Structure formats: structure tokens, C-alpha cells
Chains A and B, each alone.
Chain A
């Protein structure tokens, strides 16, 4: 399989009182039309990794890599104009909380259509038709009504489906989903992930699913990277996760509650034993 994204020695740093601190410390991976999960604790650098692929980290943050190649585009040396042609149209990103990541004063219909018209000149009627079609694809029952609403008028679950529609309407080849369900009610999390999964498979896209939830990632991905402190500490196929021998991964797994649980207390990660 020819990779669509290749990342070699990716580093992200921010200035701190005493020199720069690296929050992503030289990670490597490549991705084909497959579903890659990135898991790790809060602050382990997952979001920074995702954002550097879209070159969304702004000054004073700094991104370097030996190689950051998306199809024929060298992300780090591309011009702003080239980068805009990649964003949305070829790589897209679903963010965590629809309450904050949708513009509060623009209608849902306009926000979805914007992603499409930014990249393609289409007659108005066709834009509208595609917008409605996309809303139906994310299982929104009466799209004609929803396009006229503002984000505050829809629920979190529906807001996130709107977000997905907005990000997939220009038919990108790679979707980065950064904790797409952690702000949602448990009852709608599975639905949102199923929608993402269905659309990814249907369009033969690549997916990077970022989460701190190991089980969720292993259910929806083919391959998993485990990050810690800005480094990839473990990498395995999703179905082999339970068999991972890496102590950190084992620790994360052990710290997760199960149904029909008999333990009184969940174990803590013992960080001393895994000094990096």
C-alpha cells in the first residue's frame, strides 16, 4: 500500500522561560488509506501531532521534521496558498467540542457550504443540494430545517454531526478526528463514531483518530500509536492491543474499568517503573 502521509522525526516546540520545550519529540509514522489511532494521556502531544499535519500551529510554536509529506505535498515547505488548497479539500479535521468549534453567528448551512465553495466553483443550487445531501449522510433527518439553524440551536451530538458534514463535504482523502466524541453525551458517542467510520470506508479515506480512550480507538482503528510525553512508546495492530507487552500500554489497559468489574480500586499507572 502506497502511503498517503509520511512523518519522520516530527518535532513541535514552544518557547518557555528557560529555552524551548519540545512537546512532540521526534515521532515517526506513515499512513495509507487506513485508520490509525493515536492514544495517550492528556498533554502527551496528540493534538499537536494532528495540527502539525495541517500546519495549524502558529507562532511562537515551531514545527520541524525530516519529512512531512502528504501525497505530493511537502507540508513544511509548501506556500500558504498551496497549504490552503490542501486544507479542507484533501486533509480535514474534526475537532473536539461543537459548542466551541462552530461559528456561533453563521448558519449551519452556510458553514457547511463554505468548505465546499472555498475549493470549487459550483452553481448555488448545486451547493445547496450537496449540503443537504451531506447532512443526510450524517443522519440528520430534516436537513432543510437544520441548514437554517444556528449552532446554539442544535444539540451537541447533532453539532458534531454537522461538524463532520462540514469537514467531509469537499471529499478529502484524510480525516483527522481529534477527540471527536469526548465532549458528547455517552449515548451519542457511538453514533457519531459509526458515522465517521461509515463515511471513511465508503470514500476509501485515511483516518487519524485521536483519543485517550484505548478501547474506543481499538474498536474503530486498524493500527494504534501509543504516545507519552511527546513520544511514541508503543505501536501495534488494533486487534493485538490486548496482547501488547509494553508496560505503559499494559498499565493504561489495566487502569480501565470493565463491566462486571470485581476490583474495588483501579490501579494507578506506576510511572517510576517506566522512566523514559
Chain B
């Protein structure tokens, strides 16, 4: 049978598909690949949960229980069923938000996560905003003033961002700005007497206090978050400015930059319109990576600042061998990674004409 035998009506009407359609298909593909990646992630946490030498039955019945009780509970928990059945049940549980109970907090893991994740989200978001707002212009400036004193200064700052440990910077910051100068709030998200004043809507205290119109809470929350966010922001600034600088240097040596100069446009326009535009694409990836690493919960910073975020939660869970909590937190962190990755993928398509179908 030849290809010509295929009825024309079965072939997709290629010419008729406009740009909008291509877009929808692209979005569909992104969603499907996201779902697949997420399923893979669930599979990994499932198998990790099976191989670790922590017996979930003992976690329930205790290590003194008679063997009959142990076996009965084991059967009840479905652990005797075929693995594939267990996996499907696990997927269904995860999708309905049932991540089991936490032995360290005594509550449902999902409730714990809903409580701790916004704390990390708020901190990381403020951190990345600081990192981008300062890091990008610094990188651009350094590249366009290549070899000058300011360029070297910015590079040294970037190196410091690599060499200095986060907890040290956090501790010094607390010692100077909080303990001595008292211009920022101390550890935690709020001072004790501001706690619980505004109803949690988003879990982000800065947003919730604005929604409630309570400026006192907002100011207090801000004084607490600004120092840890600045420390995180400094580390992402170091990375972002270094990458921006090297992307920009690369662009500024391209022929089309000379073309732009030949036209007689201002140097500012040459830099921002001609050299910066093409690097927005790789920059989105760099910023996404940096944001993701902040969202994983910077364990050091959350510990130093007693920040009740996911990094803190995960460490506590690990130390208590609290398997459900560990797996739940891992799922959330993995999901954040997938979302940010796919998000920067989509942005990439939006920005770069060459990546558009």
C-alpha cells in the first residue's frame, strides 16, 4: 500500500493551522511533558519510600508489638499487595493530597507543607527579586565597562558570593544589624505579639497583611524578612551578575553590535536594545535555576534565622526519620523544580523568535 492511498480527509490540514494553533499545541506538549515528569518524580519517591530501611509498620505499631498484630497492620496498610497496585494507590493518594501523617509533628504532612512552604516561597521570592534587580544591571554595567575598576569590583563581589558561607553572613548580619544596631527584626517571621493578627490567606505574611490592611504587621514582617532575603539575594546576585556579565561580553563582541553603532544610535540603546535583548533567553534560565535553588529551602539560612520554611521542616524530618514528611517535602521541592523549568521553557519560546515554531 502506498502513501497516496491514505484518504486526504485523514491528513491534518497543515496549511490551515495558524499561529494560534501551533501555540496551543506547544502548550499542550509542555503540559503533557510536565505531567510525565511529575509521574516520574512520584515513582522515585515511591521507590525511595520502599527501599529505605525504615519499616512503616513499626512506625505505626511500635517495635514491641506481637507478630500477629504486626502482620495484621501490615496487611491493612496494603503492604502485602503487588507492588504495582501499591504504586497506583500511592499515585492516587498523592493526587488527592494525602501524603500520610508526620510522626514528628503529629499532623497530616500535607497540612504541614501548606504551612511551611509559603514561608520559604516568600523568602525565596524576595531574595530572587533582590538578586535580579541588582545582579542584572551590575552584570550589564560590568560588561559594558569591561576592564575598568568597577568591572573588577563587581567581579570580586561575585567571587565573595562564592567564597563566603551563607550561615556566616547570616550570623554576622544578625549580630550587627539586629543585636547591635537594631535596625532589622530578629529570627522568625514575626515578633511574638504580631503573630496570628492577620488571617492567613496566601500564607505569605507580606501579602496577607496588605490584604488585611494591617500596616503594623506588614512592617514587622518586612523587618524580619529583609535580612535573610538580602543574604539569599546576595548569593543569587553573585551568580546572576557573573552570568549576565559573561553573556553580555559575548554579545558585545558580535558583528551586529557594530552594525548598531554604525547606525548612530546611543550607546545606551546599543547595550539595552541590541546586546541585552538576545541574552534575555539564557538569562531566564539562569534566573530560574537560581530561584529554584532558593526555593529548595536554603537549610543554612532557615536554620540561622529560625525561619519556619521547608528547608527547616525537611531537616527536622530527616533527623527524626519521619519518612512521610521527607517524601512529601521532596515531592513539593521536585514539583517546584519542574514548574520553574517548564516555566522558563515557555518564557523562552515567548522571547526568542528563533524558538517559535
Contact = CB atoms under 8 A, between A and B. Distances in A.
Interface of A: 54, 56, 59, 80, 84-89, 92-93, 95-97, 100-107, 114-115, 118-119, 150, 152, 163, 166-167, 170
B255 interface: yes
Q: Tell me which of A89, A100, A101, A105 has the highest count of chain B C-beta atoms within 10 A of its own C-beta.
A: A105
B259 A101 contact: yes
Nearest to A88: B264
Contacts of B347: none
B357 interface: no
B179 to A, nearest CB: 48
B152 to A, nearest CB: 16
A54 B256 CA distance: 15
B353 A150 contact: yes
Interface string B254-280: 111011111111110000011001100
A114 B260 CA distance: 9
A118 B263 contact: yes
Contacts of B277: 103, 105-106
Nearest to A51: B258
A93 B258 CA distance: 10
A97 B254 CA distance: 12
A23 to B, nearest CB: 17
B240 to A, nearest CB: 20
Given A104-B278, A105-B353, A150-B354, A87 B259 contact: no
B255 A100 contact: yes
B147 to A, nearest CB: 8
Given A114-B260, A170-B264, 9 more contacts: A59-B147, A84-B264, A84-B266, A85-B264, A95-B258, A100-B256, A105-B277, A114-B265, A150-B353
A88 B353 contact: no
Contacts of B258: 56, 95, 101
14 contacts: A56-B258, A56-B261, A84-B266, A85-B264, A87-B262, A87-B264, A88-B263, A89-B264, A92-B263, A101-B256, A103-B256, A105-B352, A115-B264, A150-B353
A170 B263 CA distance: 9
Contacts of B265: 84, 88, 114, 118
B263 A114 contact: yes
Contacts of A85: 264
Interface of A is mostly: loop
A115 to B, nearest CB: 4
B254 A87 contact: no
A59 B145 CA distance: 11
Given A103-B278, A106-B277, A95 B259 contact: yes
Q: Tell me which of B256, B267, B277, B351 has the highest count of chain A C-beta atoms within 10 A of its own C-beta.
A: B256
A95 B263 contact: no
A119 B352 CA distance: 28
B262 A103 contact: no
Contact of A104 (B147, B260, B263, B354): B354
Interface string B22-53: 00000000000000000000000000000000
B120 to A, nearest CB: 35
B263 A103 contact: no
A104 B353 CA distance: 8
A128 B351 CA distance: 24
Given A84-B265, A115-B263, A119-B264, A103 B274 contact: yes
Q: Tell me which of B254, B258, B259, B267 has the highest count of chain A C-beta atoms within 10 A of its own C-beta.
A: B259
Contacts of B147: 59
Nearest to B147: A59
Contacts of A107: 353
A170 to B, nearest CB: 8
A87 B354 contact: no
A97 B255 CA distance: 9
A265 B258 CA distance: 40
A59 B265 CA distance: 19
Interface in B211-260: 254-256, 258-260
Interface string B302-333: 00000000000000000000000000000000
A119 B263 CA distance: 9
Q: Tell me which of B264, B273, B277, B351 has the highest count of chain A C-beta atoms within 10 A of its own C-beta.
A: B264
Contacts of A150: 353-354
